[in-house]
Amino acid sequence: MMPIGPLMIEHRLIERMIDVMREELNLFEKEKKLNSDFVEMAVDFIRTYADRCHHGKEEDILFRELGTKKLKDEHHHTMEELVEEHRWGRKMTARLVEANKRYTEGNGEAMTTVTDCMRSLIHFYPKHIEKEDKHFFIPCMDYFTEAERQALLREEWEFDRNLIHEKYKNMVIAVEKKLTALTL
């Protein structure tokens, strides 16, 4: 398998989640109320899977190695755009989290911000994925030898293997901090 194989498989799951988010958004607008538990679950998917796991492998492995190659201007430019789009996605997700929190605290007006953020993310992901799948990933493989491709793939598996430990270690650190703050 090429190192873009796992990334493309992950794109398919992100698309499925975006489809569910689209359906939920329609429901929120029809019923004029949010299901904040769904929003929280979607945020966890976006932050842990789409951003940390998926964008993490793109930026920390594939793009890092592409950065050591003499890229064509077109590929260099696209890679910068993709990193900038990842940053935009993080900011939009943070806005979504903040508005969903306000909504759960009883601020009904926050609903518009939640639905706007969801709509933006639903619009963003398919375009971002198409840019990578159709215009970037495949031509970029030509910069690597077969041995380099295999090393990239191995590093991706290792990255994934460590992820669940990282997620739950951070969760324990966060709850420990909360507890310490409470008992001080």
Residue for token pair 């299901």: 35
Of 65 and 132, the one with the shorter C-beta distance to Fe ion is 132
- Footprint (CB under 5 A) of Fe ion, residues 57-76: 58
Of 132 and 156, the one with the shorter C-beta distance to Fe ion is 132
Q: Considering only 33-41, 101-109, 131-139, 176-184, which stretch makes contact with Fe ion by CB under 5 A?
A: 131-139
Of 3 and 114, the one with the shorter C-beta distance to Fe ion is 3
Q: How far is the CB of 108 from Fe ion (least distance, A)?
A: 34
Q: Considering only 52-60, 64-72, 109-117, 137-145, which stretch makes contact with Fe ion by CB under 5 A?
A: 52-60
Of 125 and 144, the one with the shorter C-beta distance to Fe ion is 125
132, 136, 144, 152: which one binds Fe ion (CB under 5 A) = 132
Rounded alpha-carbon distances, angstroms, from residue 22 to 55, 63, 76, 92, 149: 21, 30, 32, 16, 36
Of 94 and 173, the one with the shorter C-beta distance to Fe ion is 94
Q: Considering only 32-40, 106-114, 125-133, 142-150, which stretch makes contact with Fe ion by CB under 5 A?
A: 125-133
Q: Considering only 40-48, 51-59, 104-112, 167-175, which stretch makes contact with Fe ion by CB under 5 A?
A: 51-59
Whether the Cβ atoms of residue 18 and residue 124 lie closer than 8 Å to each other: no
Binding site for Fe ion (CB under 5 A): 58, 132
